[in-house]
Chain A
Amino acid sequence: MFFPIQYLINHGIPQETISLLLMIPIIATIIALSRQVIGIKGFGIYTPLIISFAFLSTGLKFGLMLFLAILLVGTLSRLVVKKLRLLYLPRMAIIVIIVTLTVIGAMYLGIYANRTEVITTSIFAILIMITLIEKFIAAQIEQGARGAIILTSETLILSIISFWVVNWSWLQDVVVQYPVWIIIFSLLTNLLLGRWTGLRLFEYYRFREVIKNVELPKKK
């Protein structure tokens, strides 16, 4: 194993922590790549990354259910609170309160139904999901329903892909074994991506009619 990493582990830092940290460059690169080359936008790097880490603690199925439930309650309460005509932050605070109450309610429901996930889930995963509601609601206000749905589902897709990558045990070993290569690879990829001026994959589809109509200059 790479010596500096071994040193950290010998001094009591869990290997899991280190492998999660070293996953961040990979996830960030994947997210940058999906935006620049494929055209999946999502909410920047932070949101999909943090959701995928939350999924790690909750498990994908339960995590997704929790996320969608929070999103649904958040959106519904926004529509109700909208009528009160309040200033932005107090309005958002009320939405967060309603969502929090819902999560607490869900805990009772979980205990009643004897679902163990509810009891074992780390508080950080739940906190992340609740606080992210602000971002999703803000998107609804700024982009309208359609834009918000697209952005949210793109973010969710990215989160699920990131979750699979982070959860991949082979890769977890590789990042600890060859951390230097992972960093160099991520940096180089991003340097290239940052200068990439080609069409994004979705743009080939979006502009297909225009492309078909292009008249290539005749060879002389």
Chain B
Amino acid sequence: MLNFLKKSEYVLGLNARNLSYLRPSNSRRALRIADNKLLAKRILSKAGLPVLETYGVISSYDDLKNFDWNNLPPTFVLKPNRGLGGEGIVIVYGRREKEPRPWVKANRKMVSIEDLRDHIRNILEGIYSLTGLPDAAFFEERVKLLKLLKPYSFRGIPDIRIIVYNSVPIIAEMRLPTEESGGKANLHLGGIGVGIDMGTGITTCSIQRDRLIEYVPGKRVPLRGIQIPDWQEVLRMAVYAQQATRIGFLGIDIAIDRDKGPVILELNVRPGLAIQIANQSPLKDRLQRIKGLKIKTISKGVKIAQDLFGGEIEEELEGISGRRVIGINEPIEILDANRNRHLTMAKIDTGAYRSTVCKNLAEKLGLNKVISRKKVKGALGAEERPIINLSFVMDKRLVSTETFIADRSEMKYDIIVGRKDLKRFLVDPAKNVFMKKPKIL
């Protein structure tokens, strides 16, 4: 029980979200931007970020009277500018050729110009707006569903919600529209929230109505293990959007269009907290680790997020396979003659059988006692190389082996680790790509 209370301190609740994160970092200006979809779009597209095209804006009865309905494409989305929770949105998928040329909705119902006028009048009256104040309506390009995500979504478009704080993506989830949510991707209406591993962009746990689920409701389609395309790009866009809007704590909704790739759908200054359940990971802890960091570039923010908050998939893999997941460049500790540890970077080379260590390094560590010799055939011809005993610790595992020594003073890495010593590891070429060589010896 005491443990439970202590652990609960890592979870972000509504009180703490509002008081500690929304208030200090989000000004009135921020609220104005995020609650006004058209303004947000203008700011984002000015910053060069991809947003959905606006076909037309109607902000008064005059606009409505003079609106040219013939300019609308056969498929579009009609939205209230200050709408909340996906209310008041009309989506049409095509237009009939026969007069009076109505549009067609997802449920095959017809929508005439007169219907749209009615709906727009309601929007102008402010029925769907946050505060009930008069609102504007606008027509927007419809996102085209990615084939990859088709089996997972009911009618609507899934989007990716990323919470960015202090230029670092903190947590991410994919929101899937369901039959229960009426084709909307909002969790409180019954949409599915799918946690995403920050490091790889692969989905992990899923929830519907705050409860963990494994499959798409009513289907045997597992929600785990979906690779979000363009993951790096999505993260970069989210960080850039936060910087461009200068909103300290921001939820960014990104959809992936079949043709255009990632586009920013919407900004949210009060992102919901169920995202913690979808990721089975507490937010407060993550936020505290990021607070006060000085992030200079977008890449840095993305990298920190991937390094700090990624790894769920890896842990799972390690759990199943009993092996450690390592990258192409991996820090390792070599044990010298006195069993002291010396840190260096190793190149993981699955093309080589036996590991090779630099002659100079081996001498320095007192490990140059040759136990045998072996001939190796390489591109440069056959060569006989000495073999020594060597022990090293890689990703917390001790490996005792026999390695070649060779002159590697001209090479970037002092040691190459070959297949013979990799049997207890899995190599992921996407991991640690940017890892810098630590200062050694």
Contacts and interface: CB of A to CB of B under 8 A. Distances in A.
Interface of A: 36, 39, 85, 87-89, 138, 141-144, 147, 195-200, 203-204, 206-207, 209-214, 216
Given A141-B127, A197-B20, A207-B277, A214 B14 contact: no
B372 to A, nearest CB: 42
B19 A197 contact: yes
Interface in B1-44: 3-4, 6-8, 10-11, 13-16, 19-20
B421 interface: no
A87 B125 contact: yes
Nearest to A197: B16
Nearest to B127: A88
Given A197-B20, A214-B7, A88 B125 contact: yes
Contact of B280 (A87, A141, A209): A209
Given A147-B188, A195-B19, A211-B4, A87 B121 contact: yes
B13 A203 contact: yes
Given A87-B125, A88-B127, A142-B87, A211 B8 contact: yes
Given A85-B118, A144-B189, A197-B20, A210 B276 contact: yes
A206 B396 CA distance: 36
A147 B85 CA distance: 12
Across the A-B interface, the 5 shortest Cβ-Cβ residue pairs: A214-B7, A199-B13, A197-B16, A203-B13, A88-B127
B281 interface: yes
B3 A216 contact: yes
Interface of B: 3-4, 6-8, 10-11, 13-16, 19-20, 84-85, 87, 118, 121-122, 125-127, 132, 188-189, 210, 212, 273, 276-277, 280-282, 285
A85 B111 CA distance: 14
Given A197-B15, A209-B212, A216 B7 contact: yes
Given A36-B15, A198-B15, A199-B15, A209 B277 contact: yes
A137 B127 CA distance: 12
A212 B84 contact: no
A216 B84 CA distance: 37
Contacts of A143: 85
B130 to A, nearest CB: 9
A39 B281 CA distance: 21
Contacts, number: 80
8 contacts: A36-B15, A138-B132, A197-B19, A207-B11, A207-B273, A207-B277, A209-B280, A211-B10
B42 to A, nearest CB: 26
B6 A216 contact: yes
A203 B282 contact: no
Contacts of B281: 210, 213
A214 B3 CA distance: 10
A210 B285 CA distance: 12
Contact of B277 (A85, A204, A210): A210
B313 to A, nearest CB: 16
A88 B133 CA distance: 12
A207 B189 contact: no
A151 B281 CA distance: 28
Contacts of B16: 197-199
A127 B25 CA distance: 43
Given A87-B125, A88-B125, A142-B84, A204 B8 contact: yes
Contacts of A142: 84-85, 87
A112 B285 CA distance: 65
B87 to A, nearest CB: 7
Given A85-B118, A204-B8, A211-B8, 14 more contacts: A88-B127, A141-B127, A142-B85, A195-B19, A197-B19, A199-B11, A206-B277, A207-B276, A207-B282, A209-B280, A210-B282, A211-B11, A212-B7, A216-B7
Contacts of A196: 15, 19
A88 B134 CA distance: 11
A43 B4 CA distance: 31
B10 A214 contact: yes
Nearest to A37: B15
Nearest to B283: A210
A46 to B, nearest CB: 16
A99 B7 CA distance: 50
Contacts of B285: 214
Contacts of A216: 3, 6-7
Contacts of A147: 188
Contacts of B10: 211, 214
B127 A200 contact: no
A85 B3 CA distance: 55
A12 B3 CA distance: 59
A39 B15 CA distance: 10
Contacts of A36: 15
A87 B212 CA distance: 41
Contacts of A212: 4, 7
B235 to A, nearest CB: 22
Contacts of B277: 206-207, 209-210
A131 to B, nearest CB: 16
A87 B134 CA distance: 12
Given A197-B20, A207-B8, A214 B127 contact: no
B154 to A, nearest CB: 16
Contacts of B210: 206
A195 B15 CA distance: 9
In this complex, the member of B3, B14, B280 whose beta carbon has the largest number of chain A beta carbons within 10 angstroms is: B14
A17 to B, nearest CB: 33
